[in-house]
Amino acid sequence: KMATLLMEIPTIPTKIRNIKYELAFIFYRLIITSKLDLSSIVLASILLSKADEENCSQR
């Protein structure tokens, strides 16, 4: 099990990126269906950009 975990470590950033795209897609879908109000949209975009900055600074 440890070996498979070590094998997966390089793919973790891609997985995080994929999750972020999934989240963004969900947010856009919600915006389109107007289930989210503007404040939560703004909050979500701030959180996404913050996560992006953290990823960049770690490299």
Percent of the chain with pLDDT over 90: 0
- pLDDT score recorded for residue 16: 77
- pLDDT score recorded for residue 11: 78
By residue range, what is the domain housing residue 42? Answer: 26-50
In a domain, 8, yes or no: no
- pLDDT score recorded for residue 1: 66
In a domain, 30, yes or no: yes
Task: Mark the ranges of the chain whose per-residue pLDDT is less than 50.
Answer: none
What's the Cα-to-Cα distance from 10 to each of 4, 6, 7, 46, rounded to whole Å?
11, 8, 7, 27
In a domain, 36, yes or no: yes
pLDDT digits (tens, 9 = 90+) for 25-40: 887 777 777 655 677 7
CA atoms within 13 A on the CB side of 20: 16
Q: 0.85 cut: is pTM over it?
A: no
Domain count across the chain: 1
In a domain, 1, yes or no: no
